[in-house]
Amino acid sequence: MRRGHRAIVAEVALREDVPRAVGDAVDTISIDPQEAMEMYLADQLSRPLAEVLRSSRIFGYLAAATPGMRELLTVGRLWELAQPERREEGAEPYDLVVVDAPATGHGLALLEAPSTFAGVAAAGPVARQARIIDGTLSDRAITGIVAVATPEEMPVNEVGFLRDELGDRLDLVVANAVRPDRFGEAEARALRGAAGAAARAALAAHARARAEREQLGRLGADVELPFAVGAGGGVDIEALASALEAAV
């Protein structure tokens, strides 16, 4: 947005986390797999046939029974957001689509679905679209993959798994919500000898920061973003954007 591009942030888990985090700062969308399926039917079939399949839920049962179909339809909806010719009348394409993907396992399934269908489906509209989408996802000049993790054991473990699966296809690793360690060892010793709630709170913050430093060592992030809280208590998007822009 700072560079004049149309951008949208999309989430696929239907948690509504993204709209709460970014507010009106940027366009957002939550991708519903059922809605993505209905849009696909309307795009590929005549209106009467699409209505028959949608009302009878036949296609829904087939999609649920076909491994990867729901993921393909979801990523197809994401892909469509950046296409010059949008499916929705009057809709304009976005220059940048940022996807808040789900946790590692499901996120990988989304990335792999187009390639899987392109390889196993010989012909037809699904195979054709899968090949086009796979070409977009595989082109590093168009699509980047960024892992974001807080400096805690489980998220760091997930990034390690993602590295093993993607190799150099993982473009960037970001450590998010990194708290500063405000005390050195001499200060920590002094706090241990002090009494009161303030000293205990300071020591707890110091211990948490030290634990985070251990996880940051395991993570090996390319970028570290601070724990940024805005004036209203929400995420300070501007501060994070500035820190990320400076780092990359």
User: Total structural domains in the chain?
Assistant: 2
Could you say which of 144, 166, 191 is where a domain stops? 144
Kindly report the CATH number assigned to the domain that includes residue 162.
Answer: 3.40.50.300
Could you say which of 144, 163, 185 is where a domain stops? 144
Q: Are 9 and 125 in the same domain?
A: yes
Give the length of the chain.
Answer: 248
Taking the C-alpha atoms of 149, 150, 153 and 157 in order, what is their torsion angle to the nearest 10 degrees? 0
**Of 42 and 113, more confident:** 113
Position 2 confidence tier, pLDDT thresholds 50, 70, 90: low
User: Are 177 and 150 in contact, with CB atoms under 8 Å apart?
Assistant: yes
**In the prediction, which pLDDT does 60 show?**
65
**Residue at token pair 């390889």:** 119
28 CB-contact burial (10 Å; exposed 0-12 / middle 13-18 / buried 19+): buried
Q: Are 227 and 112 in the same domain?
A: no
Q: Are 137 and 153 in the same domain?
A: no
**In the prediction, which pLDDT does 230 show?**
60
Q: What are the DSSP E strand ranges found in the chain?
A: 7-11, 27-30, 96-100, 146-149, 172-178, 223-226
Residue range of the domain that includes 108: 1-144
**In the prediction, which pLDDT does 231 show?**
57
Q: Which residues contact 192 (CB under 8 A, 6 or more apart)?
A: 199, 203
Using alpha carbons, select from 14, 178, 187 the residue that is nearest to residue 106: 14
CA distance 98 to 37: 21
Counting residues of the chain whose pLDDT is more than 70, the rounded percentage is 79
Q: Are 102 and 160 in the same domain?
A: no
Q: Are 118 and 156 in the same domain?
A: no
**Mean pLDDT computed over 208-214:** 90
pLDDT tens per residue, range 168-193: 999 999 999 888 887 777 777 777 77
pLDDT tens per residue, range 13-69: 666 667 677 767 788 888 887 777 777 766 766 666 666 666 666 666 666 666 677
pTM of the predicted model, to two decimals?
A: 0.80
Q: Are 104 and 217 in the same domain?
A: no
pLDDT of residue 233 exceeding 60: no
**In the prediction, which pLDDT does 148 show?**
93
Phi, psi of 234, rounded to the nearest 5 degrees: -90, -170
Q: Are 96 and 41 in the same domain?
A: yes
Mean per-residue pLDDT of the chain:
81
In the three-class reduction of DSSP (H, G, I as helix; E, B as strand; rest coil), residue 165 is classed as helix
CA distance 85 to 188: 60
CA atoms within 13 A on the CB side of 79: 23
Position 140 confidence tier, pLDDT thresholds 50, 70, 90: very high
Q: Are 198 and 161 in the same domain?
A: yes
Could you say which of 120, 144, 168 is where a domain stops? 144
Tokens standing for residue 2 = 């700072």
